[in-house]
Chain A
Amino acid sequence: MKPFNLDKEPKIKSGFTTPDSYFDDFTEKMMQQLPEQEVKVVPLYRRMSVWISSVAAVLVIALGVSLLLKTNTKSEPDATTIENYLVYQADILPNDFIQGLDKDAIEDLEASIAISDEDIENYLNNEDYDIYLNE
């Protein structure tokens, strides 16, 4: 038997076939499957992302400015806060208060302290004030 030689043998075809009329409507079938306006989707998304970034940037700036204004506003501390501050400040002595008050303020202060005579009497009874009375 003669050895098989591809070059000397008649050309062997692949033997593959397709269903009848497979190629007749293939092009149209293919065209219907194409993604629509594929190219335009990308720029649109990019443009959207620019818009979203811009809006986000404006919001961040607005929030920052409002926070800055808020922290810069001078608010008056209430009476309790001042009182607490003064109580816990060892450097401030009673004399300092007195220095800061004028005569009218002292009179107002005295008028605002409503202590009954009975309370004063009780207080004095509990303390040894004889030393002052005898002077």
Chain B
Amino acid sequence: MQDEKAFIAQLLDPKTQNDAFRQLVSQYSRPLYSHIRNIVLNHDDADDVLQNTFIKVFRNLSNFKGESKLFSWIYRIATNESLTFISQKAKKAGVSNQEILEKQAQELHADNYFSGDEIQQKLQQAITTLPEKQQLVFKMRYFEEIGYEEMSEILDTSVGALKASYHHASKKIENYFNTH
């Protein structure tokens, strides 16, 4: 915790800000990319959202009050950026958020940056049939293995509600596999 406080102080000090931010980008780019890619599905979109996320983090460093962990704060920004991106894309296409994700999941086999087999694509398609919040919880727990406590801080939802969401999501996915 003391280390995180010192690191945040470096991020806020103009003299050390650049070096500290370089360290932050280096440390967070891979896990944050996975988190965003799991939500937006497409590499180019994930690349755009990842860059926007880091820029937003940089711009808002002075607003970070330290009430939550730096990790949770950054993930919350990335999640919001990803969901906003999906909404904007769906709006442009004149369809719902769920419809655009379902369409993208169906076309994953043609994506140059998707190496999944039939089962992996089926899982992605099954996830897109879930409500938005259940999709998020399932992806964060199943693919990213983020703990419920941390997820609770990121999504601002109680641990109990998150566990219930994951349970419902799992059952629906199993049902999808059994019927498709």
The contact string, 1 if C-beta is below 8 Å from chain B, for chain A 118-133, is 0000000000000000
CB distance from B138 to the nearest CB of A (A): 10
- Residues of A contacting B142 in the complex (Cβ-Cβ under 8 angstroms): 6
- Residues of A contacting B178 in the complex (Cβ-Cβ under 8 angstroms): 3-4
Q: Which of B73-81, B94-102, B119-127 is the interface stretch? A: B119-127
Q: Tell me if A15 and B51 are in contact (CB < 8 A).
A: no
Q: Tell me if B14 and A12 are in contact (CB < 8 A).
A: no
Q: Tell me if A39 and B55 are in contact (CB < 8 A).
A: no
Chain B residue, CB-CB nearest to A1: B178
Q: Give the number of chain A interface residues (Cβ < 8 Å).
A: 26
Q: Tell me if A30 and B143 are in contact (CB < 8 A).
A: no
- Residues of B contacting A23 in the complex (Cβ-Cβ under 8 angstroms): 29-30, 33
Interface SS of chain B: helix
Q: Which of B1-9, B19-27, B129-137, B150-158 is the interface stretch? A: B19-27
For A40, give its contact among B14, B18, B51 (CB under 8 Å): B14
* B34 CB-CB contact with A under 8 Å: yes
- Residues of B contacting A12 in the complex (Cβ-Cβ under 8 angstroms): 119-120, 123
* A77 CB-CB contact with B under 8 Å: no
Q: How extensive is the interface on chain B, given as a class? A: 35 or more
For B59, give its contact among A7, A15, A22, A38 (CB under 8 Å): A38
Known: A4-B178, A19-B113. A35 touches B58 (CB 8 A): yes
* A14 CB-CB contact with B under 8 Å: yes
Known: A3-B174, A27-B22, A33-B51. A16 touches B59 (CB 8 A): no
Q: Tell me if A15 and B55 are in contact (CB < 8 A).
A: no
Q: Tell me if A14 and B116 are in contact (CB < 8 A).
A: yes
CB distance from B173 to the nearest CB of A (A): 6
* A93 CB-CB contact with B under 8 Å: no
Q: Tell me if A17 and B54 are in contact (CB < 8 A).
A: no
- Residues of B contacting A18 in the complex (Cβ-Cβ under 8 angstroms): 33, 43, 113
Chain A residue, CB-CB nearest to B179: A4
Q: Tell me if B115 and A17 are in contact (CB < 8 A).
A: yes
Chain A residue, CB-CB nearest to B60: A38
Q: Which residues of A contact B (CB under 8 A)?
A: 3-7, 12-19, 22-23, 26-27, 30-31, 33-35, 37-40
What 7 A-B pairs are tightest by C-beta distance, nearest first?
Answer: A15-B116, A4-B177, A15-B120, A27-B25, A27-B26, A17-B113, A14-B143
